[in-house]
Amino acid sequence: MTHEIDPGSIESEADIPRDHPRYQDLLTRFRIEEGVRSGITHLQGMHAEGRGSAFDYLLGEETIPSADDAARAAAASLLLAKRPVISVNGNVAALVPAEIGELAAVTEAAVEVNLFHRTEDRIARIISHLNDHGVEEVLGSEATARIPGLDHDRGLVSADGIYAGDVVLIPLEDGDRAAALQEMGKREIVIDLNPLSRSQRAADIPIVDNVIRAIPGITEHARELMAAAPSELETILSEFDSEEHLASAEERIRSGDLEHA
């Protein structure tokens, strides 16, 4: 069959042929467009998506082995945490709403909407979108605390969520906020397809992978590790080498095996 498809003509996810070689990219584009149409995703989210898509193309749209190790370390870290928190922005909400709920349930993490381009309207829409996808309790509508060192809007967080969290999962986070959260002593798990981003460089556990694969990947590891002893989880964490993961992701992107493209 021919794989020619006009992404602009897709009206529902069912229109995307599952055997299309760029299936994940078409699905992601469609969800982001839908997110923008429904007021969940910021227009800037489309640029972010385009950038991520280029990196993912070079990764062959697959989870590289060291990213899977990172996802396992992330699962161990969330399970060990006293107050794990998952931060959700407009892109994450559009791409993986139900998957965020599953991960939160398995790791007993709080879910907080935290936006770079903050508006009360978009926060309310994202909370209701997450509720529709089975995430019952979502923080973020009340900004009751502030991350020190950040300007007004970007520093606003929930006192019971990100502010109090010891381990925070921050997919697609900006570098300044990642640095400020680290200053507060939090352990940071970052998901970003750019291995050179400042947030990835600052992360305790960087995961260079598409959020649509990484979130279910962490959940799968967390399910497997749920009954593990804390000492086993600590060992998984201490054996994970973030520098090595970032280097192998960069190498994979630069050498670009396009077999799957």
Q: What residues make contact with ligand PTJ under the rule CB under 6 A?
A: 28, 42, 44-45, 47-49, 51-52, 55, 89-91, 95, 115-117, 172, 174, 191-194, 197, 210-211
Q: How far is the CB of 14 from ligand PTJ (least distance, A)?
A: 21
How far, in Å, CA of 30 to CA of 53, rounded?
12
Q: How far is the CB of 36 from ligand PTJ (least distance, A)?
A: 10
Q: How far is the CB of 100 from ligand PTJ (least distance, A)?
A: 13
Query: Which residue, 175 or 241, has its beta carbon nearer to ligand PTJ?
Result: 175
Rounded to a whole number, what is the distance in angstroms from the first to the last CA of the chain?
A: 16
User: What are 88's strand-pairing partners?
Assistant: 113
Query: Which residue, 49 or 112, has its beta carbon nearer to ligand PTJ?
Result: 49
Q: How far is the CB of 29 from ligand PTJ (least distance, A)?
A: 10
Query: Which residue, 63 or 197, has its beta carbon nearer to ligand PTJ?
Result: 197
Residue 171: which H helix or E strand, with range? strand 167-171
Query: Which residue, 34 or 174, has its beta carbon nearer to ligand PTJ?
Result: 174
Question: In 3D, which of 77, 24, 104 has the Cα closest to residue 230?
Answer: 77
Burial class (CB in 10 A: 0-12, 13-18, 19+), 210: buried
Query: Which residue, 78 or 172, has its beta carbon nearer to ligand PTJ?
Result: 172
Question: In 3D, which of 213, 185, 224 has the Cα closest to residue 28?
Answer: 213
Q: How far is the CB of 166 from ligand PTJ (least distance, A)?
A: 22
Q: How far is the CB of 230 from ligand PTJ (least distance, A)?
A: 30
Q: How many CB atoms lie within 10 A of CB 7?
A: 12
Q: How many CB atoms lie within 10 A of CB 205?
A: 26
How far, in Å, CA of 101 to CA of 206, rounded?
21
Residue nearest ligand PTJ, Cβ-based: 52
Residue 110 near residue 165, CB atoms below 8 Å: yes
Query: Which residue, 61 or 69, has its beta carbon nearer to ligand PTJ?
Result: 61
Query: Which residue, 80 or 154, has its beta carbon nearer to ligand PTJ?
Result: 154
Q: How far is the CB of 222 from ligand PTJ (least distance, A)?
A: 19
How far, in Å, CA of 211 to CA of 193, rounded?
8
How far, in Å, CA of 6 to CA of 111, rounded?
35
The identity of residue 177, as a single letter, is R
